[in-house]
């Protein structure tokens, strides 16, 4: 199924078009340190931004967000998965929701 807003893809091949916060939480909770270490979030079409979340060896999450239109490169780490999903969902909504600038 094609996404209207953005796609989430994991290293192990899981794909979710326009994932809800719950689906995003499930994708990130399924990350492991051997064969499924990251999830990428990419826009459906016509935009340049992306985000990725990687599970690091120490169990923390590395979150990279890039949005050239806003001159926004950002690299952070997180340990609280539900808080990470809330923050990432807000970041995504700012890019694909009504009135988004990019």
pLDDT value, residue 101:
47
Condensed to tens digits (0 to 9), the pLDDT of residues 38-48 reads: 999 999 877 88
- For 58, phi then psi, to 5°, come to -90, 5
Give me the residue label for tokens 């929701």: 97
The mean per-residue pLDDT over the stretch 30-44 comes to: 95
pLDDT value, residue 33:
94
pLDDT band at 73; cut points 50, 70, 90? confident
Provide the β-strand partners of residue 75. Answer: 64
pLDDT value, residue 102:
46
Here the tokens at position 2 are 């094609």
pLDDT value, residue 100:
52
pLDDT band at 97; cut points 50, 70, 90? low
- The residue among 57 and 5 whose pLDDT is bigger is 57
Q: Look at residues 58, 53, 34 and name the one whose alpha carbon lies nearest to residue 92.
A: 53
Question: Judging by DSSP bridges, how do beta strands 38-43 and 6-10 pair with one another?
Answer: antiparallel
Q: Look at residues 37, 38, 8, 35 and name the one whose alpha carbon lies nearest to residue 23.
A: 8
**Vertex 75: Cα angle to 74 and 81 (nearest 5):** 115
pLDDT band at 98; cut points 50, 70, 90? low
């Amino acid at each position: 199924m094609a996404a209207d807003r953005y796609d989430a893809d994991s290293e192990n091949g899981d794909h979710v078009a326009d994932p809800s916060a719950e689906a995003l939480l499930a994708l990130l909770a399924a990350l492991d340190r051997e064969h499924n270490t990251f999830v990428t979030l990419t826009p459906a079409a016509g935009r340049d931004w992306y985000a990725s979340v990687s599970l690091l060896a120490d169990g923390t999450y590395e979150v990279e967000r890039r949005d050239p239109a806003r001159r926004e490169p950002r690299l952070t780490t997180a340990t609280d998965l539900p808080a990470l999903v809330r923050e990432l969902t807000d970041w995504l909504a700012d890019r694909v929701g009504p009135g988004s600038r990019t």
